[in-house]
Chain A
Amino acid sequence: MSFESALATLIVHSDGETQHLQVDVGTCVRDALDTTAIRVRAACGGTGSCGACVIKYLSGAVNPATLAEYQKLSASERQEGLRLACQIRVVGDTEWLLEHPAHVSSWKSIAPEDLIPVEGQLPELQHFIYGLAVDLGTTHIRISLWNRKTGQRIANRSGFNPQSVFGADVLNRLNAALLTDNRSLEMAQLARQAVLEALRDILARDIGEVSPMLKEIGSVIIAGNTAMLALLSLNGANQLLNPDNWQQPIDCLPLGHDTWQSEWNLPNAKIKLEPALAGFVGSDLTADIIGTRLTEAAGASLLVDIGTNTELALWDGHRLLVTSVPGGPAFEGVGIRNGMSAEPGAIYRVERLDDGHSLKLSTLGAATARGFCGSGLIDMIAILLESGTLKPSGRFSQNPGPDGFLAEAENPKTAVTPGDVDALQRAKAAIATAMETLLTNSGLTWESIERLCVCGTFGRHLNIRHAQAIGLLPSLNNDKIELYANATLAGCEKALLSDGISLFDHYAALTQVINLSYVPGYDDLYINNLRLRPIEMHSVINT
């Protein structure tokens, strides 16, 4: 028996498009829409003071009009069924028409349940009390704006890193940037402008003032993988292609940050790019360690951030062993025929129905299936393995042919091919082997792990049992496995609220970097982990 809060369906039509959202009863309609592509107009933080978020009632159960709505809407408007989206709370299933949506933006709010609550020792501040946290990911950029005096998160945004047009993975992007100085400048500006654009979107929609507010921002903390930091700062990208530099920290901090203050129009902000731990381990991992409070458990804790580049940290009670593996792109849809990131239409969950063979696909935004995101692909492979359609070798027991195996009849976007299985096998083997290697290097076994923190691309959608069945995650008790959607952002946020001491420097001093390419026996373990089967929980003891 679970005590989850009751759910209701919120349906919103706008410009010929329809959003079907499953929301908790009590959810605010504006907040729900802010996580989607259909957003209401807004110029205040949802206080009802700007009156921009007008939306028309069609049917269903919501709260009665509030005082703010009586002030902002005329009697005849209220008669027509117009309401302010920021004032509406969902009571039961309900349907709305948004006639004048906000201009289409690539920036969306992160769903509240995907955020980690963050507390810090609030700095004593008189001026410039606002702060900006930035998680500069290879695929996504996430930011949040804070009132550092009250410790309150004002708003957040998530969107795609526009540098992706120059390559989905880190290596392609570095190669592109190194072609010409103009190209690297162009890529740096793309990322810088994206951050600024997201920030302006927050200020315009959640505060209602842009230029004056930019002057009130006193601190910006940016974390990312080494390549993203180098591309942003225009410093260090050339060193990153030489493996001799990978073991040491690489200076990829901006050569002069005055230019940024003016470029971003943040005259009073201390802009801090948190330094990477090594050539291939970025400050996003440090942020994860802070965000998940990895070092706070009594026992050993392991963190794995699965992304385009997968980074890992093992806390053994005294030090942090860190490393990275190129295991992630498959889980972000790269190299998978129908792979995609977690966008509307992505199959994020697959279940086998009671009849034993028909499949139920769940897509983001309840849209028509357009492909698999990481969690959906793992479900799919695990189910095919369970039913014997796939063998542990990764071969189909019956060749599905060039069209692949269709999860949903007559929808080619739901096909899984032998090549997809291969890419997934290699990705999961790299991640499993990296975890085992860290354990071996610490003299630990799986039994001694108290917490396994899984961050990154899967968010909270990952089916742990399926991830265990194919050998991506170890078969630990479920209560030891924690899923995080936005740990890197949370780490930056915590640092933002801890003025004076640098949390990043504190944790960086505890780390020891391991380059798996130089670990004897890594390849043997990797090949051993390629089969689709659970991780051998005792194997690490013998190596």
Chain B
Amino acid sequence: MLDDIINHYNEAVFDTDKEAAFEVIDNALAEGYTPEDIIFKVVIPAINEMMAIITKDPDANLAQHFMTAQIASEVTEKMLLQFKSPPEIVGRVVIGTAVGDLHSLGKRIVSGCLKAMMVEIIDLGVNVAAERFVDEAIAHDAQVIAISAMMVHSATGENGCRKVRKLLNEQGLESRIKIAVGGAPFRFDPELYKTVGADAWAADGISAAKTIVDLIHEVNAK
């Protein structure tokens, strides 16, 4: 029964028990469900459920976000290998941490969830120069540049998001490529994303995935 699978999977994800989550998925495959079913009917709804829980629960635990995203990402990778035809991609995102910032974990949550939501990720790693963000976004025809910054000086610095905005503006790319930001400084000041020239921000990595998917749709609608 699909409902049972969904319940058991959600329970495992809620408990951040990776081994248990994989056991549910393996059993489902053995029962004849397709990898496509598992992604679209189990994994993506589970992420949506987590988003709903996190938005309602301000005390939600960051360690659990990391583990949840990791499970989603690993399950997706495993299922994608078994897809009959390549999955339809929603869009592309280049992601990295701002210049001067080596905190790589925030963007992992975002990447993990986006991957499960069929968004292609180009991960540029940490301490990424503004020029590189823009060059890679053009090269991969990405709709969104996602910049993670965990420290005040990397979030607000001249060579971070502000410079990415300047480059997009100079090259006339602002309607084709949107900027999303995230990280602790943006939580302390919810208006900060505007100050540094971003189009959107999110308070946590899991809801950031939804913010980014919305930006992709915004670009694609034009």
Question: Which A residues, 348 to 381, have Cβ-Cβ distances below 8 Å to chain B?
Answer: none
Is A523 a contact partner of B61 (Cβ separation < 8 A)? no
In the complex, identify which listed stretch (A95-103, A157-165, A524-532) lies at the interface while the others stay far away: A524-532
Contacts A175-B152, A393-B16 given; does A429 touch B100 at CB 8 Å: no
Is B67 a contact partner of A527 (Cβ separation < 8 A)? yes
Is B126 a contact partner of A425 (Cβ separation < 8 A)? no
Residues of A within 8 A of B100 (CB): 241-243
Q: Does A41 contact B (CB under 8 A)?
A: no
What's the minimum C-beta distance from A208 to chain B, rounded to whole angstroms? Answer: 49
Is B127 a contact partner of A421 (Cβ separation < 8 A)? no
Contacts A175-B152, A175-B153, A531-B16 given; does A417 touch B59 at CB 8 Å: yes
Partner of A523, one of B14, B104, B127: B104
Residues of A within 8 A of B16 (CB): 392-394, 530-531
Q: How far is the CA of A425 from the CA of B59 in the complex (A)?
A: 15
Residues of B within 8 A of A537 (CB): none
Is B61 a contact partner of A394 (Cβ separation < 8 A)? yes
1/0 per residue, CB under 8 A from B, across A294-320: the answer is 000000000000000000000000000
1/0 per residue, CB under 8 A from A, across B59-90: the answer is 10111101100100000000000000000000
Q: Does B151 contact A (CB under 8 A)?
A: yes
Query: Of all chain B residues, which has the CB nearest A425?
Result: B63
Residues of A within 8 A of B108 (CB): 523, 527
Query: Of all chain B residues, which has the CB nearest A393?
Result: B16
Question: Which A residues, 500 to 526, have Cβ-Cβ distances below 8 Å to chain B?
Answer: 515, 517-518, 523-524, 526
Q: Does B105 contact A (CB under 8 A)?
A: yes
1/0 per residue, CB under 8 A from A, across B1-43: the answer is 0000000000000111100000000000000000000000000
Contacts A517-B126, A530-B66 given; does A243 touch B59 at CB 8 Å: no
Interface residue SS majority, chain A: helix
Q: Does B219 contact A (CB under 8 A)?
A: no
Q: Does A216 contact B (CB under 8 A)?
A: no
Is A421 a contact partner of B67 (Cβ separation < 8 A)? no
Contacts A429-B63, A530-B67 given; does A393 touch B17 at CB 8 Å: yes
Residues of B within 8 A of A531 (CB): 16, 67
1/0 per residue, CB under 8 A from A, across B162-184: the answer is 00000000000000000000000
Partner of A243, one of B61, B105, B127: B127
Residues of B within 8 A of A392 (CB): 15-17
- Greatest chain A CB density within 10 A among B102, B108, B126, B151 is at B102
What's the minimum C-beta distance from B29 to chain A, rounded to whole angstroms? Answer: 23
Residues of B within 8 A of A418 (CB): 59, 61
Residues of B within 8 A of A425 (CB): 61, 63
Is A523 a contact partner of B64 (Cβ separation < 8 A)? no
Q: How far is the CA of A279 from the CA of B151 in the complex (A)?
A: 17
What's the minimum C-beta distance from A516 to chain B, rounded to whole angstroms? Answer: 9
Q: How far is the CA of A242 from the CA of B153 in the complex (A)?
A: 10
Is B67 a contact partner of A393 (Cβ separation < 8 A)? yes
Q: How far is the CA of A395 from the CA of B68 in the complex (A)?
A: 13
Q: How far is the CA of A526 from the CA of B103 in the complex (A)?
A: 13
Query: Of all chain A residues, which has the CB nearest B16?
Result: A393
Is A395 a contact partner of B153 (Cβ separation < 8 A)? no
Q: How far is the CA of A531 from the CA of B151 in the complex (A)?
A: 26
What's the minimum C-beta distance from B1 to chain A, rounded to whole angstroms? Answer: 25
1/0 per residue, CB under 8 A from B, across A168-179: the answer is 000100010000
Q: Does A422 contact B (CB under 8 A)?
A: yes
Is B153 a contact partner of A419 (Cβ separation < 8 A)? no
Residues of A within 8 A of B153 (CB): 175, 241
Is A526 a contact partner of B105 (Cβ separation < 8 A)? yes
Query: Of all chain A residues, which has the CB nearest B18?
Result: A528
Contacts A171-B151, A241-B100, A243-B127 given; does A527 touch B61 at CB 8 Å: no
What's the minimum C-beta distance from B17 to chain A, rounded to whole angstroms? Answer: 7
Is B66 a contact partner of A421 (Cβ separation < 8 A)? no
Is B17 a contact partner of A422 (Cβ separation < 8 A)? no
What's the minimum C-beta distance from A454 to chain B, rounded to whole angstroms? Answer: 22
Question: Which A residues, 221 to 238, have Cβ-Cβ distances below 8 Å to chain B?
Answer: none
| 23 interchain pairs, CB-CB under 8 A | A175-B153, A243-B102, A243-B127, A392-B17, A393-B14, A393-B15, A393-B17, A394-B16, A394-B61, A395-B64, A418-B59, A419-B59, A421-B61, A422-B62, A425-B63, A426-B63, A518-B126, A523-B108, A527-B66, A527-B67, A527-B105, A530-B66, A531-B16
Q: Which of B's residues lie within 8 Å of A, judged by CB? A: 14-17, 59, 61-64, 66-67, 70, 100-102, 104-105, 108, 126-127, 151-153
Not counting A243-B100, A418-B61, a sample of 9 additional A-B residue pairs whose C-beta atoms are within 8 angstroms of each other reads A175-B153, A242-B100, A243-B102, A393-B16, A395-B15, A425-B61, A527-B66, A527-B70, A530-B16
